[in-house]
Amino acid sequence: MEGAEAILKKTRVLSFPAVEKFRPRKKYRAEALDEKIRRERTRREARLLSRAKAAGVICPIVYEVSDFAIRMKFLEGKMLYHALRSRPIKPSEIASAARILAALHSLDVVHGDFTPANLMGTKDGMAVIDFGLGCISGDIEDKGTDVVTMKKALGKQGGAFAHAYLRAGGKQSIVMMAHRIESRARYMERG
């Protein structure tokens, strides 16, 4: 499967089912710069997955990291985004997503693309994948952007997500920042 940033393929590490996420060269960038960017993004994503595990979040276990690829545990499950095509999101799913984000933020992990497209239901509970746009940051605006991204993705249920995030231990200052970010966006849309 090919995305904007990477190519995913099923593989095995020892006897375990795995996924390899490979970042191919972008020909529009100078070669040395491209290698630096791909190497840094690959290492950063591996670190973020490790921190997410430390936060108690279900996510792929990293098996191997090379310059431009990560081999990680293959998670069996159904993407939340696909499930929501045929039904509305359940309150339990909103609560699970909120718990994940609050746990990530407690260790300064910013996902960068926290939406139903990067959440999946597994036999162990809801998991989060694809930290390719993430970073480690204590900045409340970065964390507020994660909240805004999910709120926008959930539409009418976005407000319920923000409340669930607070109940899960997310900070009020982050939700307030999310409101400020949304206000700026509304101002930009009118202007």
User: Are 86 and 172 in a shared domain?
Assistant: yes
User: Are 86 and 179 in a shared domain?
Assistant: yes
User: Are 51 and 105 in a shared domain?
Assistant: no
Q: Please give the share of the chain, as a percent, with pLDDT higher than 90.
A: 93
Nearest 5°: the CA angle 16, 115, 171 is 105
Residue 172 C-alpha from the chain's centroid: 21
62 Cβ contact partners less than 8 Å away, ≥ 6 residues apart = 46, 49, 50, 70, 71, 72
What does the pLDDT average to over 152-164?
96
pTM of the model: 0.91
pLDDT of res. 2: 65
Q: Please give the share of the chain, as a percent, with pLDDT higher than 70.
A: 94
What does the pLDDT average to over 162-169?
98
Listed residues 73, 94, 117: the one ending a domain: 73
pLDDT tens digits for 66-113? 999 999 999 999 999 999 999 999 999 999 999 999 999 999 999 999
Nearest 5°: the CA angle 149, 152, 154 is 110
pLDDT of res. 6: 86
Cβ count within 10 A of residue 26? 13
Domain count, the chain: 2
Q: Which residues are catalytic?
A: 113
Tell how strand 119-122 and strand 69-73 pair up: unpaired
What does the pLDDT average to over 137-158?
97
* Domain contains 130: yes
pLDDT of res. 18: 96
User: 177 lies in which domain range?
Assistant: 77-190
pLDDT bracket for residue 5 (50, 70, 90): confident
User: Are 104 and 68 in a shared domain?
Assistant: no
pLDDT tens digits for 24-47? 999 999 999 999 999 999 999 999
pLDDT of res. 171: 98
* Domain contains 2: no
User: Are 69 and 21 in a shared domain?
Assistant: yes
pLDDT exceeds 90 at position 1: no
Inter-residue contact 99 to 13 (CB < 8 Å): no
28 Cβ contact partners less than 8 Å away, ≥ 6 residues apart = none
pLDDT exceeds 80 at position 3: no
* Domain contains 1: no
pLDDT of res. 51: 96
pLDDT of res. 191: 47
